[in-house]
Structure 1
């Protein structure tokens, strides 16, 4: 089994940060719990709502399975939302949203079949950005 420990940091209602970390614990000598690995993984998340008092928001997160060597599978996501793009007095009420992300995962598709020697791992890297205006 494993134990999941969550640590939450909260500031004002409109600003928040959260850190969640994971370690695997396995039975050791004499049945005592032991860390399976000293590689802490987890997610760091932040959010700021109501930027400059104008209901704009900025959110982001960084995730990895190993904070000590994060380049193996570091993933991030960031998003900015800007409501009332034309101003609060304009009835159009358009919202601008901009986001960017990256992820790196092992491909579940490229595997060896029955009777085939082990196939080397294939990593799938994705990165992108998008922006849209909604009304």
Structure 2
């Protein structure tokens, strides 16, 4: 568990908690399901237990070795994973250092943060033929969407231009 908090002066002038958000991270691991070497790793995390919809993230991965039986000479392994996470976009995020570089373009304020949500599944099959030869085939299905600071879908980005105009 973790706790993020801020202190600010209260009405009487004494310091008090302005905000506090307890977070949580739960990890589960089983390395030998049904005595067949099947491995399961799962992780669920949130930065705010009271509002988990804001940033709930999870990842679960299942690995099954020798999928075609114990006598499989190619040592075929199947790996499947399910995931969901949210991160700030590195391409459309605001600048966080010293003087704003946007000032030279006539825009004093930094652009709003854009959040990228990804959720989906992946699966791949790996076979080892010899010490120097292997084959892998996989498939991935995911949904990617961008959201603004209010959680609304952001179909396209915009930036401010000099003179108070906006462009896309």
Q: TM-score, normalised by structure 1?
A: 0.70
Corresponding pairs, count: 112
| Residue among 117, 122, 134 paired with 1:125 | 117
Name which of structure 1's ranges 48-57 and 36-45 shifts more when overlaid on structure 2: 36-45
Give the aligned partner of residue 53 of structure 1: 35
- Structure 1 unaligned residues grouped into runs of 5+: 1-20
C-alpha contact 2:56 2:85 (8 A) present in aligned 1: yes
Q: 1:80 aligns with which of 62, 72, 76?
A: 62
Distance 2:44 2:18 in 1: 23
| Structure 2: tracts of 5 or more residues without a match | 10-15, 96-101, 128-168
Does the C-alpha gap of structure 1 residues 95 and 75 become closer, same or farther in structure 2, counting only changes over 3 Å? same
Q: CA RMSD in A?
A: 2.5
Deviation at 1:35, TM superposition (A): 6.1
Which TM-score applies when normalising by structure 2? 0.57
C-alpha separation between the residues in 1 aligned to 2:53 and 2:42? Answer: 18
Is the CA contact 1:23–1:36 (under 8 Å) kept in the aligned structure 2? no
Give the number of the structure whose alpha-carbon radius of gyration is greater.
2
